Amino acid sequence: MRGLMMDTPLLISSIIDHGATVYADREIVSQTVEGPIHRYTYAHARARSKQLANALASLGVHAGDRIATIAWNGHRHFEIYYAVSGMGAICHTLNPRLHPVQLDYIVNHAEDSYIFTDLTFVPLLEAIADKLTSVQGVVVMTDRANMPDTSLSNALCYEELIDNHSDEFAWPQFDENTASSLCYTSGTTGNPKGVLYSHRSTVLHSYGLALPDSMQLGEGHCVLPIVPMFHANAWGIPYAAPMTGVKLVMPGPRLDGASLTRLMTDEDVTMTAGVPSVFLGLLNHLEETNTRVPSLERVVIGGAAASQSMITAFEQKLGVEVRHAWGMTEMSPLGTVSVLKPDMRDAPEADRYEVQGKQGRPVFGVEMKIVDDDAKLLPHDGKAFGDLSVRGPWVCSGYYRMDHSPAHDADGWFATGDVATIDESWYMQITDRKKDLIKSGGEWISSVELENLASGHPEIAQAAVIAVPHEKWDERPLLIAVPKENASPTKETIQEYLAGLVPKWWVPDDVVFVDSLPLGATGKVLKTKLREQYASPHSGTPPKE
Ligand code: ADP
C-alpha cells in the first residue's frame, strides 16, 4: 500500500525559495575579487539568480546543458549555483588549481557550453581557449568597469548579461533525480572522473549537513566556508545555508590567515570549515599576532587528517570546538563527523582528543563497512583495519560518461580507496589511503598515524610520510617534515621522539627537512610528488638498511 503523502520533488530551487522567503533579510557577505566587501540578502540573491536564469535562457541554454564555473567563493558564484540548477541545467564547478591539461580534458569531456569565470582565471582560460571544443562563450563575473582586455573571443560581462532581465522566473518542476551539478575528482591517478549530483542527493545531503551532530547549522549561526565552491561544492554549505538560515560569509580569493581573521572578526563568524593546510595558516597567524576570533565557536576540519596538535591548538589555545569530518567528492562529500558522545564529555582529556582525532561516526544517510581482501566483514573493535565501503542516497552510483566503475560492486557499495578501523561506538578512523599504506616486512605501517604523531613534535609544523622501496623489507617509511619557524630539529631527535610513541619498526629510517610540502588541487599534500622526488630509484634518496 502506498502512503498518502505528497510526492513533492526535492529540488534545489526550493532551497533558495525557502531562504528568500523565510530568511529573506539574512545576509550573504562576500569578499569580492575586485576588492570591496559585497553584502546582500537571500531575497536579493534569489532575485539575481532568477535574472541570470532568464539571461541563460536567452543565450539558448536548455535543461541538461552543462554550464561551468571557475571561481572563488562569492555572491555571483552562489547565484550561478541556483540559477543553473534551478532552470534544470547542470552546474559544473572547475577547480582552477588543476593542471591546465586536466582542465581542458574536463571541459571537453563534460561538453560545457558556457564558462563563468572570476577575473582571476581569465588568463588561465585564455591559455587553453583554443583547446576547448564545446564552449560557446565565457562570462566574466564582474561589472563593465572591471572588464579586462581579453583575447577570449566571446567574452560577456556578468552584470551586463543579467542587467536587462526580469527577476521573475518560474522555476520548472521536474523529477528530483535529474542531474543538478557536476564535479570532477582531482584524478591523482588517471584522468579525472565526473561525479554527477542530483537535485534529490543535494537536498538530502543538505539536511544531513544541518543535523546537530553534523555541522549543526541554523539561524543562530554565521558560517564562512573556507573550502572552495569548486571543491565538492564547498562541502554543500551553499545549499544548506538558505535551507537553515545561516548568515553566509564568502572569503573570495583571500584565504591567508590575516584576511580570514579580519573577515571572521568583522562579520562575527561562528563556524568555518576547510582542509588542514588552510587552518595551519590561520593558526600560525593567530599565534604570531596573539589574536583570536571572539565569535568563533567551531571549526570543521576535513579533506585530510586533522592532527592532534591542530585539534588541541584550536581547543586549548582558542577555545574553539573542532569537528573532524571525513568525506569524498563521490559522497557529496559528507560521510562522518566526530562529535563526542554525551558520556565521553567528562572523560580524561587524552581520551577525548583521541576520539576527536578519529574521523567520526556516519551521518544518517551514509552506511559504511570495512572488509578484508576477501570482502569479509571485519569486526568493529577499533583495531582491525580494512577497505572502507559506503552507500547511501548522496553517494555516487557511477561516474559521468564512464561505462564501468571498478569502485562500485553489484550490491551497490562504493569502495572509497580508504583503509579504516571502526570501533564499538561506530567511530571510524582512517589509517591510510590504500595506495599510501607502507608495507614493511609483510606488516602495515600507517602513514597517517606517523604524520599525526610527528606533527605533535614541538619543533615540527607539518609532516608527510611516504614509502620508499627497500630490498629487505619491501618498503620503509620516510618522514618529510617542515620545521617550525626558528626551530632546527635533527633527524635523531625526531626518531627518538617517535620511538617513544610507536613500535620500533615503525620509526622512519630517514627524516628529510624541507621548507614546504607540495599541495595538490584540493589543498592536500601531494604524496605522488613526494614519491617522485624522494622514493623513486632516481630520487637520490637511497633506501637505507
Ligand atoms: P574531500 O577532500 O572534499 O573530502 P576528495 O574527494 O578530494 O574530497 O578527497 C577524498 C579523500 O580525502 C578521502 O577518500 C580520504 O582519503 C581523504 N580524506 C577526507 N577527509 C579526511 C579526513 N578527515 N582524514 C583523513 N583523510 C581524509
Reported as a single tens digit per residue, the pLDDT across 375-429 is 999 999 999 999 999 999 999 999 999 999 999 999 999 999 999 999 999 999 9
Query: Does the annotation mark 185 as catalytic?
Result: yes
pLDDT of residue 542: 38
Of the candidates 64, 69, 66, which has an alpha carbon nearest to the alpha carbon of residue 88?
A: 64
pLDDT of residue 189: 58
Query: Does the annotation mark 421 as catalytic?
Result: no
CB 105 within 8 Å of CB 58:
no
Asked if pLDDT for residue 537 goes beyond 70, the answer is no
Rounded Cα distance, 419 and 9, in Å: 36
Of the candidates 10, 85, 109, which has an alpha carbon nearest to the alpha carbon of residue 94?
A: 109
Q: What is the pLDDT of residues 426-468, one digit of tens each?
A: 999 999 888 898 988 888 899 988 999 999 999 999 999 999 9
The pLDDT of 249-260, averaged and rounded, is 97
Rounded Cα distance, 118 and 73, in Å: 10
Asked if pLDDT for residue 72 goes beyond 60, the answer is yes
> Which pLDDT band, with edges at 50, 70 and 90, does 544 fall under?
very low
Query: Does the annotation mark 472 as catalytic?
Result: no
Asked if pLDDT for residue 540 goes beyond 50, the answer is no
CB 29 within 8 Å of CB 249:
yes
Asked if pLDDT for residue 287 goes beyond 70, the answer is yes
Asked if pLDDT for residue 155 goes beyond 70, the answer is yes
Q: Is 355 helix (H, G, I), strand (E, B) or coil?
A: helix
Q: Determine if ligand 1 sits within 6 Å of the CB of residue 87.
A: no
Q: Determine if ligand 1 sits within 6 Å of the CB of residue 430.
A: yes
Ligand 1 atom nearest the C-alpha of 326 is 20
Strands 361-362 and 66-70: what pairing? unpaired
CA distances to 109, 225, 251, 253, 537 from 229, in Å: 20, 8, 11, 11, 39
pLDDT of residue 132: 97
pLDDT of residue 188: 58
Q: Is 519 helix (H, G, I), strand (E, B) or coil?
A: strand
pLDDT of residue 127: 96
For a mutational test of ligand 1's pocket, the pick from 230, 275, 299, 328, i.e. the residue with the most ligand atoms closer than 8 A to its C-beta, is 328
Q: What is the pLDDT of residues 303-355, one digit of tens each?
A: 999 999 999 999 999 999 999 999 999 999 999 999 999 999 999 999 999 99
Least confident of 115-124, 187-196, 441-450: 187-196
At how many degrees (to 10) do helices 276-289 and 257-267 cross? 80
Q: What's the 133 CA to ligand 1 centre distance in angstroms?
A: 32
Ligand 1 atom nearest the C-alpha of 325 is 23
Q: Is 16 helix (H, G, I), strand (E, B) or coil?
A: helix
> Which pLDDT band, with edges at 50, 70 and 90, does 536 fall under?
low
Q: Determine if ligand 1 sits within 6 Å of the CB of residue 96.
A: no
Rounded Cα distance, 161 and 71, in Å: 17
Residues whose CB is less than 8 angstroms from the CB of residue 201 and which lie 6 or more positions away in sequence, other chains included: 332, 393, 394
Query: Does the annotation mark 189 as catalytic?
Result: no
Q: Determine if ligand 1 sits within 6 Å of the CB of residue 230.
A: no
Asked if pLDDT for residue 490 goes beyond 80, the answer is yes
Alpha-helical segments (H) within 5-41: 12-22
Asked if pLDDT for residue 211 goes beyond 70, the answer is yes
Q: Which cell goes with 149? A: 582586455
> Which one from 185, 261, 270, 421 is the annotated catalytic residue?
185
Ligand 1 atom nearest the C-alpha of 417 is 14
Largest CA distance in the chain: 72
Around Cβ 230, how many Cβ atoms within 10 Å?
A: 25
Enter the pTM of the model.
0.91
CA distances to 237, 305, 330, 385 from 338, in Å: 18, 12, 20, 18
> Which one from 188, 434, 444, 528 is the annotated catalytic residue?
444
Q: What is the pLDDT of residues 219-231, one digit of tens each?
A: 999 999 999 999 9
Residues whose CB is less than 8 angstroms from the CB of residue 357 and which lie 6 or more positions away in sequence, other chains included: 305, 306, 307, 308, 311, 324, 338, 429, 452
Asked if pLDDT for residue 539 goes beyond 80, the answer is no
pLDDT of residue 161: 98
**What's the Rg (C-alpha) of the chain?**
23
Q: Which cell goes with 207? A: 539536511
Q: Determine if ligand 1 sits within 6 Å of the CB of residue 232.
A: yes
Instruction: Kindly list the structural domains of the chain, giving each domain's residue range(s) and its CATH number in brackets, ordered by start.
Output: 12-210 (3.40.50.12780), 363-433 (2.30.38.10), 438-533 (3.30.300.30)
pLDDT of residue 410: 92
Output b/e per residue, 486-505; b: 16+ Cβ within 10 A: eeebeeeebeebbeeebeee
Q: Determine if ligand 1 sits within 6 Å of the CB of residue 455.
A: no
- Residues found in the chain: 545
pLDDT of residue 442: 80
Cα 178–183–185 angle (5° rounding)? 135
Q: Determine if ligand 1 sits within 6 Å of the CB of residue 395.
A: no
> Which one from 176, 330, 451, 475 is the annotated catalytic residue?
330
Rounded Cα distance, 429 and 360, in Å: 7
Cα 302–499–308 angle (5° rounding)? 20
pLDDT of residue 85: 99
**What burial class does residue 437 get, using C-beta atoms within 10 Å of its C-beta: 0-12 exposed, 13-18 middle, 19+ buried?**
middle
> Which pLDDT band, with edges at 50, 70 and 90, does 545 fall under?
very low
Q: Which cell goes with 111? A: 561538453
Rounded Cα distance, 253 and 406, in Å: 36
Q: What's the 418 CA to ligand 1 centre distance in angstroms?
A: 9
